[in-house]
Amino acid sequence: MHIQTAAVQTLRDHEHGAVVPPVHLASTYELDPRTDDGLYAYQRGGNPTRAQLERVLAELDGAAHGFAFATGMAATGAVFSTLEVGSEVILPASVYGGTFRFVDKIFPTRGLTGRYVDDLGALTDEDFTEATRMVFVETPANPTLRVTDLRRIVELAHRHGAIVAVDNTFMTPVLQRPLELGADVVVQSATKYLAGHSDLLAGTVTTDDPQLAEAYALSQKAEGGVLAPLDSFRLIQAIKTLPLRLERQQDNAAQIAAFLREREDVTVVHTPGSFSEEEARLHAAQAEGPGAVLSFELAPDLDRVAFLQALRYPAYAVSLGGVESLICRPATMTHEAMTPQARATAGISDELLRLSVGIEHIDDLLADLEQALAAAAR
């Protein structure tokens, strides 16, 4: 089954013939007095609507197990919940800001250590210690779109007894399926592309590993950061158009990148693979497209604030993946927790702008960028 078909056809209510799955809002379920058991008992531990969503999530990633959480950070927290005291996690310095906050503030209270590396692509055997239990990867990286060789990281990590967790938010299973490349667990902020309309917070975890799956189910039950039935239903519905939305967004983004690269008043344009031929080759070998996020810098003689004020369509806001275009300034809006030095090392200048491209008509988006660039000329 192709992913476009799986997104739409995985769930059919065969009992009633409904083409859209039902929503089960019950907080509690009747048990059999002979066994004190039942298919479901209490909503936090599991319920039919969340279970349906989790089936779709597993199907899309080609995974044995899927889990739905209240937010992407709850999902990331569940992934970190398997780490024992004394464990160390290797992460890229440019990791998502919320993950950086988790490592910065929560890890010490749990006896965990996060070790940041500037370039995951340069990871070697020497970077692993006895305590390394996990490598946490984002590829392409945010907002530089640098690409990491997932197969290589998997090979390295597994040789040292560490698991590989991939935050696949930017790619989604439509464009990249890290479990097929050997990763142990995939986490996504479904708030972004999966939900796709900037109106829902959710997080997902998928894995083939039965032991990890047990731990994530325990996190749902014990820590309680689960997705509610109505939001599970909304996410099921949103996922149906994910491949279609992403296709248009990616197409628009490619045309915008080409437009910006032609401009003399735009100095750099980052897209996955743009850093080097090696990264272009890597991305092509592990993903099916560049996605729809790009970043760029205006020439020094342009007025950034005037440019942003003149833009009519991309809203100046954090987040990404929605049908509406958004633009933000990572140095102050998404990566402000990094030290200025760490940002500089990661290639995140104060002037870098990140654009999440929506499904608007490309002619309107290009005309808007063109008039805003003109307005920014001092």
**Which CB sits closer to ligand PLP, 8 or 201?**
201
Q: Which two tokens stand for residue 176?
A: 């990249």
Q: How far is the CB of 160 from ligand PLP (least distance, A)?
A: 25
List the interface residues with ligand PLP, window 185-244 (CB under 6 A).
Answer: 189, 191-192, 201, 203
Q: How far is the CB of 252 from ligand PLP (least distance, A)?
A: 19
Please give the radius of gyration of the chain, using alpha carbons only, rounded to the nearest integer. 21
Strand order in the sheet with 293-298: 266-270, 293-298, 353-356, 326-328, 315-316
67 CB neighbour count, 10 Å cutoff: 28
Contact string (CB under 6 A) for ligand PLP, positions 309-348, x = contact:
----------------------------------------
Phi-psi region of 312 (alpha: psi -120 to 50; beta: other; left: phi over 0): alpha
For the chain, the maximum distance between any two Cα atoms, rounded to a whole number of angstroms, is: 79
* The amino acid at 299: A
Of the candidates 133, 146, 149, 167, the residue annotated as catalytic is 167
Told to judge if 265 belongs to the known catalytic residues of this protein, a careful annotator would answer: no
Residue 283's nearest CA partner among 297, 116, 174, 275 is 275
- To which H or E segment does residue 159 belong? helix 150-159
Q: Is there a contact between 85 and 229 (Cβ–Cβ < 8 Å)?
A: no
Directed axis angle between helix 362-376 and helix 242-262, to 10°?
40
For strand 315-316 and strand 326-328, is the pairing parallel, antiparallel, or unpaired? parallel
Q: How far is the CB of 150 from ligand PLP (least distance, A)?
A: 15
Q: Is 250 in the site for ligand PLP (CB under 6 A)?
A: no
Distance CA 371, CA 366 (A): 9
Told to judge if 221 belongs to the known catalytic residues of this protein, a careful annotator would answer: no
Q: Is 102 in the site for ligand PLP (CB under 6 A)?
A: no
Contact window for ligand PLP (CB under 6 A) among 71-79, 254-262, 289-297, 304-312: 71-79
**Which member of 72, 77, 114, 358 binds ligand PLP (CB under 6 A)?**
72
Q: Is there a contact between 220 and 69 (Cβ–Cβ < 8 Å)?
A: yes
**Which CB sits closer to ligand PLP, 72 or 358?**
72
Q: How far is the CB of 168 from ligand PLP (least distance, A)?
A: 8
Q: Is 249 in the site for ligand PLP (CB under 6 A)?
A: no
Q: How far is the CB of 158 from ligand PLP (least distance, A)?
A: 23
**Which CB sits closer to ligand PLP, 47 or 99?**
99
List the interface residues with ligand PLP, window 115-154 (CB under 6 A).
Answer: 138, 142
Q: Which two tokens stand for residue 274?
A: 């743009």
Q: How many residues bind ligand PLP (CB under 6 A)?
A: 14
Q: How far is the CB of 71 from ligand PLP (least distance, A)?
A: 3
Q: Is 169 in the site for ligand PLP (CB under 6 A)?
A: yes
**Which CB sits closer to ligand PLP, 73 or 147?**
73
- To which H or E segment does residue 135 belong? strand 132-137
Convert 260-271 to b/e letters by CB count within 10 Å (16 or more is b): beeeeebebbbb
Residue 134's nearest CA partner among 197, 63, 185 is 185
Q: How far is the CB of 334 from ligand PLP (least distance, A)?
A: 8
**Which member of 59, 167, 231, 279 binds ligand PLP (CB under 6 A)?**
167
Of the candidates 44, 55, 152, 240, the residue annotated as catalytic is 44
Told to judge if 44 belongs to the known catalytic residues of this protein, a careful annotator would answer: yes
DSSP label of 102 = I
**Which CB sits closer to ligand PLP, 48 or 98?**
98
For residue 313, the Cα-to-chain-centroid distance in whole angstroms is: 23
Of the candidates 61, 96, 231, 329, the residue annotated as catalytic is 96
**Which CB sits closer to ligand PLP, 142 or 144?**
142
Give the residue numbers marked as catalytic: 44, 96, 167, 192
Residues binding ligand PLP (CB under 6 A):
71-73, 96, 98, 138, 142, 167, 169, 189, 191-192, 201, 203
